[in-house]
Amino acid sequence: MLRVYCGGVTKLSSTAPTVRGALEELEQRHPSLHRNICDETGAVRRHINVFVNTSNVRDGEGIDTTLQPGDVVTILPAVSGG
């Protein structure tokens, strides 16, 4: 669903030390994608989930979560409906 905002790629790389840094890199490289993930204050939108490996960042340090080499950051829109 978000691929349309980054030319259809499924993986992007980053050397940022935190999720916040990775999102800032994303803002520079793919501004329209960033606008769909973060609001005007830089906070992750309510309907977007960000995981580092298998942990939702909302359950820990938020976007200040530290990244280690090899970590995988997954950005998923929430799925709802019935």
Kindly report the CATH number assigned to the domain that includes residue 45.
3.10.20.30
In a domain, 82, yes or no: no
Token output for 57: 């960042």
Give the residue numbers spanning the domain of 31. Answer: 3-77
Is-contact 31 55, C-beta < 8 A? no
Total domains present in the chain: 1
Give pLDDT, residue 3: 87
Token output for 39: 């609001």
Q: What is the arithmetic mean of pLDDT over 15-41? A: 96
Please, which pLDDT band fits residue 81 given cuts at 50, 70 and 90?
low
In a domain, 20, yes or no: yes
Give pTM, 2 decimals. 0.89
Transcribe the chain into DSSP letters. --GGGGTT-S------SBHHHHHHHHHHH-HHHHHHHB-TTSPBPTTEEEEETTEEGGGTTGGG-B--TT--EEEEE-----
Give pLDDT, residue 7: 87
